[in-house]
């Protein structure tokens, strides 16, 4: 019995020492809590918020920075637009993208379409990417979330954001009444937007007679929706003759996606 006690005490002391070391001998790192599955309210978002969402996804749920970081487990994506253009013209490119946005989207869901030299799966001779399909299981980004990340990547590359905020994502738009657009109540109609932003001070629209900017009373006949959308988001992208560059602020950025579409639709109807 004496031996039994000795052995028991010895074992307990050993276990105690291991426990003490694990608790006090090494720094205690608290693992990050499981990511929260968030509901997106895309309809109530401005482009800046959409890009910010992409930023958050990029560093969070998307787990992109696990590999796309300074340790270079995967290529850095801070200049992805230039990279995309270069890769699309590379003979090794196996994808079908025709523009940067499509290329980025393809690289998310079919990462092996183009593998940057040196970053392929071991032994695959750079034909197969170690990157998972981000729309799949582990990461599970939705189409809207992928679009947000593309917007973010385009933004940090310093180039134009061509992605439009998806508005037709019924499950994910969440509660219709949820607050968006920076805390103000959403606009009810295109007329309300025009009134709020005093478009008529410069443009001829909705009964106002502004003369600083182009006449918009029949703009729907002259321009298509894409052009109108771009003109709202990036007014200096194309300037109609005789008008000065840099006059109009990018009002589109202050609108959420629903509002922007509402305004674009309104304008497209002016014929």
Residues in contact with another protein by the rule CB under 8 A = 3-4, 6-8, 10-12, 14-16, 18-19, 21-23, 25-31, 33-35, 63, 65-67, 69-73, 76, 78-79, 121-122, 130, 132, 135-140, 156, 158
- Residue 39's region, left for phi above 0, alpha for psi from -120 to 50, else beta, is beta
Please give the Cα distance from 130 to 112 (Å, whole number): 8
Return the ∠ at Cα 253 (arms to 249 and 259), rounded to 5°: 115
**Secondary structure in 3-state letters for 244-260:** CCCCCCCHHHHCCHHHH
The rounded distance, in Å, linking the Cα atoms of 90 and 113 is 11
A 10 A CB-CB count for 113 gives 18
Nearer to another protein, 71 or 185 (CB): 71
Nearer to another protein, 18 or 243 (CB): 18
Residue 45 vs 149, nearer CB to another protein: 149
Least distance to another protein from the beta carbon of 158, Å? 7
Minimum Å gap between C-beta 70 and another protein is 5
Kindly tell me which of 144 and 232 has the beta carbon lying closer to another protein: 144
Please tell me the number of Cα atoms within 13 Å of 142 on its side-chain side.
Answer: 17
Question: Nearer to another protein by C-beta: 132 or 200?
Answer: 132
Compute the distance between CA of residue 170 and CA of residue 140 in angstroms, rounded to an integer. 17
Shortest CB 124 distance to another protein, Å: 11
Provide, rounded to whole angstroms, the least separation between the CB of residue 195 and another protein: 35
CB of 146 to another protein, least distance (A): 14
What's the DSSP call for residue 64?
Answer: G
Planar angle of CA 89, 91, 96, nearest 5 degrees: 65
Vertex 250, ends 106 and 85: CA angle to 5°?
A: 25
Kindly state the smallest distance separating residue 46's Cβ from another protein, in Å: 22
Compare residues 29 and 185 and give the one whose CB is closer to another protein. 29
């Amino acid at each position: 019995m004496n031996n039994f006690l000795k052995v028991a005490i010895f074992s307990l002391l050993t276990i105690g020492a291991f426990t003490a070391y694990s608790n006090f001998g090494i720094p205690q790192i608290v693992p990050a809590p499981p990511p929260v599955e968030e509901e997106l309210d895309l309809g109530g978002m401005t482009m800046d918020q959409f890009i910010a969402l992409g930023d958050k996804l990029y560093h969070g749920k998307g787990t992109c920075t696990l590999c796309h970081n300074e340790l270079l487990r995967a290529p850095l994506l801070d200049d992805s637009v230039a990279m995309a253009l270069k890769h699309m013209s590379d003979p090794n490119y196996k994808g079908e993208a025709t523009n940067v946005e499509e290329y980025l989207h393809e690289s998310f869901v079919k990462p092996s379409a183009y593998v940057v030299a040196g970053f392929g799966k071991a032994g695959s001779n750079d034909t197969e990417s170690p990157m998972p399909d981000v729309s799949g299981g582990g990461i599970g980004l939705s189409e809207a979330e992928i679009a947000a990340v593309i917007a973010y990547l385009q933004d940090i590359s310093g180039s134009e954001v061509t992605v439009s905020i998806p508005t037709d994502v019924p499950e994910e738009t969440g509660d219709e009444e949820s607050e968006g657009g920076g805390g103000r109540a959403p606009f009810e109609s295109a007329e309300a937007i025009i009134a709020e932003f005093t478009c008529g001070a410069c443009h001829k629209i909705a009964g106002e007679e502004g003369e600083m900017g182009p006449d918009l009373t029949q703009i729907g006949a002259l321009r298509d929706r894409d052009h109108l959308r771009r003109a709202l988001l990036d007014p200096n992208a194309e300037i109609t003759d005789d008008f000065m560059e840099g006059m109009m602020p990018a009002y589109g950025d202050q609108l959420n996606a629903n509002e922007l579409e509402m305004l674009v639709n309104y304008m497209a109807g002016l014929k």
